[in-house]
Amino acid sequence: MRPYTRLARHQGNSSLFFALDVSILSTSSGIPIHVHAEGLRGTGKTTIMRSARQILPPITRVRGCLYNCHPDHPHCPVHKHMTPEEIRAIGTEKVTMPYLEITHSSKMGTAVGSIDLARLTNPARPEAALLPGAIPLAHRGIIFVDEINRLAETSPELADVLLGVMGTKPGYVKVEETGLVPVEIPVIASVWAASNPDEEPGPLEDIRRQLSDRFDLVVGMARPSQAEDVVRVLEEFSEEFDAYLPEISERAALFERDKRMGQVRFPDALTRLIAGMYVDFGFESLRAVEAIKLSSKASALLEGRDEVELEDIIRVAPMVLRHRVDPTTLNRVLEHLSSKRSSVAAGSTGQKGPNSDPHTSACNENRCEARGAEDNCSPMDRLVSRIRDKLRDMQGGRAGASRRPGMGSARGMGAGASSPGDIQLTAPPRIARPLTDLSLIELIKGEEEPLRI
């Protein structure tokens, strides 16, 4: 496996690295953040998500506990009824944060749990006991699901299990086997998933919208746009893994901040801001604003700050809302947030954080019209910018064709139109398609291939 710290980073994948850092940090604090990476095949999303296991920090558990029981909060069938004195007698140990994988061909028994056949068939002392599956074993760690859109279609029962794991924080998994009393086990684990929305059976939100909404962050992956980035990717094949073990250990140490996560402050002004966004933009799910708040706190902590700033919200908002709202609404949200830079107090001064990305600001304020600047934008920023420009061109063209003296600069039925009869309507050359009906590959186009609407 390639060293995670040496994987080539470029504009097409930088958001995924950030999302994984946020998720690891939050998980080590006991609060999972679920991440879904979408992109065409060969963009490296699975490689990055599997390599990230190298930088997972250690956790402290009850010695020998398969369920990774926290010494102060034992939850498994073996330890949950023990007293603190009995737990101390058993002792504790440090192990690497668990990372387990579920595929679309996994069985319920291997994912959830089943009867321990070895103990059941023990001739000396046969007994019915539970053998935990991958999900209970991943408690306080990561569960990775590749091709989650296929799993949602081919294994709906596993998708139902994931709904239980991701539905609340902590989640839960219920094991029911003949001969055993049903057991419900709490699970604190971040679910990471990858999928290609342009291959069958299609985007996850079209297959199982309820499951799609469970993901806090959805990241779009794009291919490298610069030849230099491709050269760096090719050089990864010659890297010696052992040479970067100290670097990997240093990266893992970054996430050992479980006591600080709860100390990150979220200013009241920003709380009112995201609450207003939920109401004003009609977000379907409260999980959207919950994910914005939690991810923003992790973003601030990653940069060494103990208070969230507006720039943290602007940074995570596209990933939180990508799968929850249509592109037009996303554009309006980003413009709304950008307009608050001068009026919302971020921290005590309302100024940008020292580590904020100035080009993200330029993207959100529609300053990507210059070719040189756009090359530095993230794929989501470029997508939003192109959609915004396309919509403005369409609206401006219609207004120009129908504008009469005295109408001012109103668009369509805007201010200055005396009556609906003053507007000259022209039929489009073909039937328009809603943006929500377009596939990801139709939306993310190079400038040489115009956006189709």
Q: What is the pLDDT of residues 180-223, one digit of tens each?
A: 677 888 999 999 999 999 888 999 999 999 999 999 999 998 88
3-class SS at 226?
coil
Within 8 A by CB and 6+ apart from 72, the residues are none
What confidence score (pLDDT) does residue 260 get?
Answer: 73
For the beta carbon of residue 47, count every other beta carbon within 10 angstroms: 18
Using DSSP, state whether 373 is helix, strand or coil: helix
Give the torsion sign (CA, 179, 182, 188, 193): positive
Q: What is the DSSP string of 253-296?
A: HTT--HHHHTT-B--HHHHHHHHHHHHHTT-S-THHHHHHHHHH
Written as six digits, the tokens of 98 are 């668990």
Alpha-carbon distance 26 to 298, whole Å?
A: 6
4-57+97-241: what CATH class?
alpha beta
- The domain limits of the chain are 4-57+97-241, 265-402+432-445
How far apart CA 447 and CA 268 sit, in angstroms, is: 41
- Name the burial class of residue 29, with classes exposed (0-12), middle (13-18) and buried (19+) by CB atoms within 10 angstroms of its CB: buried
Per-residue pLDDT of the chain (453 residues; tens, 9 = 90+): 677 877 888 888 999 999 999 999 999 989 999 999 999 888 889 999 999 999 999 999 999 999 999 999 999 888 999 999 999 999 999 999 999 999 888 888 889 887 666 655 567 775 556 788 899 999 999 999 999 999 999 899 999 999 999 999 889 988 777 666 778 889 999 999 999 998 889 999 999 999 999 999 999 988 887 787 777 777 765 555 555 666 667 667 767 655 577 889 999 999 999 999 999 999 999 999 999 999 999 999 988 899 999 999 999 999 999 999 999 999 999 999 999 987 754 444 344 433 444 444 444 444 444 334 444 455 556 666 666 666 666 655 554 444 434 434 333 333 444 444 444 545 555 556 666 666 666 655 544 445 444
Cα–Cα distance for residue pair 77/129, rounded to 1 Å:
10
- The answer to whether 182 and 174 have CB atoms below 8 angstroms apart is yes
pLDDT at 121: 58
Q: How far apart are CA 450 and CA 453, in angstroms?
A: 9
Please state whether 279 falls in left (phi above 0), alpha (psi between -120 and 50) or beta: alpha
pLDDT of res. 82: 94
Report pLDDT for 354: 38
